[in-house]
Amino acid sequence: GTAEYVRVFTTDNPDYYLKHSFDKTWSDYGVPYVDESCTVGASNNLVIYGHNMKNGTMFREILQYANKSYWQEHPMIRFDTLYEQGEYEVLSAFYDRVYYADENCFKFYRFIKAADKADYDNAIQNYKEKSLYDTGVTAEYGDKLITLVTCSYHKEHGRFVVVARQR
């Protein structure tokens, strides 16, 4: 993708930026924000949430990764922080949902920091199994990931997810 957005979060009110712009004024668009559990530089995986707006703004363009042809044309995602500039290779794109607490399954939004190599490898395996197509990209324990998440209306509490590995 080519869109550029500020990605921010507030620890005391993590969903604040869903309905506020970067200058803190009310906005239906909000700005993409990093999950409150993530620490830039310390987390294996930065989970970034953004609205899917019908007018094509914000994270709507990541929905295009449902099409293999779009991924073939845009295999890289640029993600810069205050600390570094980064290029990420798309590893997986899939439809999922937010699960109930008692559902025993892999919850993509809970994978932030791997407990160990086995935990990391399990997450990568789940991403690959869920993916709509094989990107040929994988990740090794220690590789940094970003996960872009937006709403999807294929089912209740549906989400569309793109996972990418830092080059």
Residues 117-145 pLDDT 10s: 999 999 999 999 999 999 999 999 999 99
The helices-and-strands tally (H runs, E runs) of the chain is 2, 6
Percent of the chain with pLDDT over 70: 68
How many C-beta atoms lie closer than 10 Å to residue 30's C-beta? 20
Output helix, strand, coil percentages for the chain, rounded to the nearest 5. 20, 25, 55
* 39 vs 128, residue with greater confidence: 128
State yes or no: pLDDT of 84 exceeds 50.
Answer: yes
CA distance linking residue 98 with residue 89, whole number of Å: 25
pLDDT score of 152: 87
pLDDT score of 33: 52
* Of residues 160, 33, 37, the one with CA closest to residue 110: 37
State yes or no: pLDDT of 83 exceeds 90.
Answer: no
Please, what is the average pLDDT of the chain? 78
CA distance linking residue 128 with residue 103, whole number of Å: 21
pLDDT score of 3: 41
pTM: 0.76
Could you tell me the two tokens for 156?
Answer: 């209740």
Angle at 101 between CA 46 and CA 32, to 5 degrees: 30
Q: What is the band of 59 on the pLDDT scale with cuts at 50, 70, 90?
A: low
Residues 12-26 pLDDT 10s: 444 443 443 444 444
How many C-beta atoms lie closer than 10 Å to residue 131's C-beta? 20
CA distance linking residue 111 with residue 107, whole number of Å: 7
